[in-house]
C-alpha cells in the first residue's frame, strides 16, 4: 500500500528551551485512520503544523501525498484538509458563506461551488442551519462545519487536530461516527491527533504513541494491548504518595511493572486474580491501607506507561503543548 505521510527525524524547538519535536519518525499508509496519541506537550499539534506546512521544522524531512513539505508547500496545501483545535469558520458568516469562502480560496466557483456547498450542508446535517451565523451553532455543529470546510476541495489527506476537545459526550460520539463514516465513504487518509484513549482505540486502525517529541511505540491498538500479557491490578491507597507501597510489592511473585501515581498503585501480574491476596498481604505487612482493588485487561493507558515510563494522566496534567 502507498505511503500517504512520511516523516523522518523531525525536529522543532521553541524559545527559550522547548524541544517540541525530537527526531520524530512517522509513516502512514494511504486510506487509513492513523492516530497520534499523547498528552499535552507530546508534540502532536507541532507535528500536524509541520506536515500541513504551517510551521517549518528545524531538521528532518517530511512528505504528504508524495509531496515534500519544504520543497513544495503550495502543492501540499492543495492536497490536504486541516481541522484545527478551535473552530476555524468566521463566526459572523453563515455556514453556507463559510463554505463558499473556503471553496473560492481553492479556486472553485460557479455551479460546481454551489453544488459542493449544498451537498456538504446536506451531508453534515447542516442544511436547515446553513443560512444561520456560525456563532449560533452548537459545539458539535461547529465541528461538523469545520470538517465540511476541510473536505470541500476533496483533499487526499485530512488532518484532524484534537477534533473532539471541548465537546460534550453526545457531541463527541456524533463526531466519532462522522469520522468513521468519512473513512468508509471517502477512503481518504486521516491523521487524527488526540489525548483521549477511547477515541484512539475506537477510530485508529494504526496509531503512534507520542511522548516528549518522539514516537515511543507504534502499531494497531489491539496488537499494542495484546503485547502486555497478563492483568493490570489497580489499587487505590488511603494515603498519598506512599513510596513504601511500591517497595512492598517488589517481593511478590509474578508481579512486575509496579508504579505509583498519587494514591494509585499499579502493577502487572501473570494471573491477577491469584496475585491479589498476596499483594494485599504485602501492603498490610507494611501498614499500607488499600481502599479499593480492581483488575483489568491491558489498556492503551498501560501501553503508554510501559513505553513512556510514566502514567498518561500524570504526563497530560503536567505539561502544556506549544503550538505557535
What per-residue confidence (pLDDT) applies to 317? 64
Residue 284 lies inside a defined structural domain of this protein: yes
How high is the pLDDT of residue 321? 37
User: What per-residue confidence (pLDDT) applies to 301?
Assistant: 86
Look at residues 183, 207, 222 and tell me which one is the last residue of a structural domain: 222
Residues 203, 58, single domain; the answer is yes
Strand (E) or helix (H) holding 156: none
Give the total number of structural domains in the chain.
2
Most confidently modeled range among 9-13, 86-90, 175-179, 295-299: 9-13
The more confident residue out of 41 and 103 is 103
Predicted pLDDT of residue 237: 93
Mean pLDDT for the chain? 90
Across 191-220, average pLDDT: 95
pLDDT category at 46 given cuts 50, 70, 90 is: very high
Cα–Cα nearest to 175, from 210, 138, 208, 207: 138
Instruction: Evaluate whether residue 311 is within a structural domain.
Output: no
DSSP strands (E only) in the chain: 3-14, 18-29, 33-37, 59-64, 67-68, 80-83, 157-161, 189-194, 206-211, 214-219, 231-237, 255-261, 264-269, 290-296
CATH, residue 257: 3.30.70.980
> Are 102 and 158 found together in one domain?
yes
| Res 320: pLDDT | 36
pLDDT at position 152, please?
94
Whether residue 205 sits in one domain with residue 62? yes
Question: Do residues 209 and 108 share a domain?
Answer: yes
- 142 and 86 Cβ atoms separated by less than 8 Å: no
The whole-model pTM stands at 0.82
Give pLDDT, residue 184. Answer: 85
Higher pLDDT pick, 247 / 312:
247
Q: What is the mean pLDDT of residues 19-27?
A: 96
Does 142 score more than 60 pLDDT?
yes
Residues 153 and 240 in one domain: no
**Given its phi and psi angles, is residue 283 left (phi above 0), alpha (psi -120 to 50 degrees) or beta?**
alpha
- Residue 218 inside a domain? The answer is yes
Domain containing residue 278: 229-297
- CA–CA distance from 268 to each of 178, 255, 314 (Å)? 36, 6, 19
302 domain residue, yes or no: no
- Same domain flag for 10 and 127: yes
Percent of the chain past pLDDT 90, that is, above it, reads 63
Q: 241 with 132, same domain?
A: no
| Last residue in a domain, options 185, 206, 222 | 222
Q: Are residues 180 and 275 in the same domain?
A: no
Q: Residue 106 gets which letter from DSSP?
A: T
Within a domain: 313? no
Examine the fold and report which residue of 171, 192, 222 is the final residue of a domain before the chain moves on: 222
Does residue 323 sit within a domain? Answer: no
Amino acid at each position: 500500500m502507498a505511503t500517504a505521510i512520511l516523516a523522518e527525524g523531525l525536529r522543532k524547538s521553541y524559545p527559550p528551551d522547548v524541544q517540541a519535536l525530537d527526531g520524530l519518525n512517522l509513516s502512514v499508509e494511504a486510506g487509513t485512520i492513523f492516530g497520534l496519541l499523547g498528552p499535552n506537550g507530546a508534540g502532536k499539534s507541532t507535528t500536524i503544523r509541520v506536515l500541513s506546512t504551517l510551521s517549518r521544522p528545524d531538521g528532518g524531512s517530511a512528505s504528504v501525498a508524495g509531496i515534500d513539505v519544504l520543497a513544495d508547500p503550495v502543492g501540499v496545501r492543495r492536497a490536504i484538509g486541516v481541522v484545527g483545535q478551535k473552530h476555524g469558520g468566521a463566526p459572523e458568516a453563515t455556514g453556507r458563506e463559510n463554505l463558499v469562502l473556503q471553496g473560492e480560496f481553492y479556486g472553485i466557483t460557479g455551479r460546481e461551488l454551489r453544488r459542493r456547498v449544498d451537498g456538504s450542508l446536506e451531508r453534515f446535517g447542516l442544511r436547515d442551519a446553513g443560512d444561520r451565523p456560525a456563532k449560533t451553532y452548537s459545539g458539535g455543529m461547529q465541528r461538523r462545519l469545520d470538517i465540511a470546510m476541510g473536505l470541500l476541495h476533496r483533499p487526499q489527506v485530512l488532518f484532524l487536530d484534537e477534533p473532539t476537545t471541548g465537546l460534550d459526550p453526545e457531541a463527541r460520539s456524533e463526531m466519532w461516527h462522522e469520522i468513521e463514516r468519512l473513512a468508509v465513504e471517502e477512503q481518504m487518509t486521516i491523521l487524527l491527533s488526540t489525548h483521549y484513549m477511547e477515541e484512539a482505540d475506537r477510530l485508529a486502525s494504526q496509531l503512534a504513541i507520542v511522548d516528549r517529541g518522539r514516537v515511543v511505540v507504534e502499531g494497531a491498538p489491539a496488537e499494542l494491548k495484546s503485547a502486555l500479557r497478563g492483568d493490570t491490578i489497580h489499587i487505590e491507597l488511603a494515603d498519598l504518595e506512599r513510596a513504601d507501597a511500591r517497595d512492598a510489592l517488589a517481593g511478590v511473585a509474578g508481579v512486575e511493572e509496579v508504579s505509583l501515581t498519587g494514591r494509585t498503585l499499579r502493577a502487572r501480574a501473570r494471573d491477577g486474580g491469584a496475585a491479589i491476596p498476596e499483594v494485599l498481604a504485602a501492603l498490610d505487612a507494611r501498614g499500607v491501607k488499600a481502599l479499593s482493588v480492581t483488575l483489568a485487561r491491558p489498556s492503551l493507558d498501560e501501553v503508554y506507561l510501559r513505553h513512556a515510563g510514566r502514567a498518561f494522566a500524570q504526563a497530560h496534567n503536567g505539561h502544556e503543548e506549544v503550538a505557535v
